[in-house]
């Protein structure tokens, strides 16, 4: 769960307003290399297909959607 906590710290430090990389590192209290690594990962994941979960009764269906849909 440590990776999730790190990603959550970074996302919490972001806002709708632009922020410098150094300010993001200070706000998240993480090392710059860690912030860079996680930002690259988050951006890569966001550019890929989206996975959706639908429920039909007791069945759980997992569907891969294109980014444009």
Range of the domain at 29: 2-65
Total count of domains within the chain: 1
Rounded to 10 degrees, what is the CA torsion of 37, 40, 46, 52?
Answer: -30
pLDDT band at 68 (very low <50, low <70, confident <90, very high): low
pLDDT, position 1 = 59
What CATH number does residue 56 fall under?
1.10.10
Q: Would you state the structure tokens that stand for residue 19, as one six-digit string?
A: 């922020």
Question: How does residue 60 score in pLDDT terms, banded at 50, 70 and 90?
Answer: confident
67 pLDDT band, cuts 50/70/90, is low
Provide the Cα torsion 6, 51, 49, 5; round to 10°: 0
pLDDT digits (tens, 9 = 90+) for 1-54: 599 999 999 999 988 888 999 999 999 999 999 999 999 998 888 887 777 888
**Separation CA 54–CA 36 (nearest Å):** 33
């Amino acid at each position: 769960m440590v990776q999730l906590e790190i990603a959550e710290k970074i996302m919490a430090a972001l806002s709708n307003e632009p922020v410098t990389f150094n300010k993001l590192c200070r706000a998240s209290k993480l090392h710059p290399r860690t912030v860079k690594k996680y930002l690259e990962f988050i951006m890569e994941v966001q550019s890929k297909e989206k996975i959706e979960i639908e429920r039909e009764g007791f069945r759980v269906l997992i569907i891969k959607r294109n980014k444009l849909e």
